Amino acid sequence: MKASKSLKLMRSAVIRTRKLARDMLLFWKRVDKEMVPFCFLV
């Protein structure tokens, strides 16, 4: 019982981390697109 519960917690934590990492990646890609023209201007 305890083992399965901890496994479930670990799995949910992994999924949450993966989702967060994907969101960060998309965010940085968007920032990158906005920053590139700015970098060329400077």
Distance CA 21, CA 29 (A): 12
Phi, psi of 34 (to 5 degrees): -75, -30
Q: For residue range 1-42, list pLDDT tens digits in order.
A: 688 899 999 999 999 999 999 999 999 888 888 777 766 776
What separation in angstroms does the CA of 10 have from each of 17, 35, 42? 10, 36, 46
What separation in angstroms does the CA of 15 have from each of 2, 6, 11? 20, 14, 6
Domain that holds residue 39: 1-42
- What pLDDT score does 39 carry? 66
Return the residue matching tokens 């305890």: 2
- What pLDDT score does 32 carry? 82
- What pLDDT score does 26 carry? 92
Distance CA 4, CA 23 (A): 28
Per the structure, the count of domains in the chain is 1
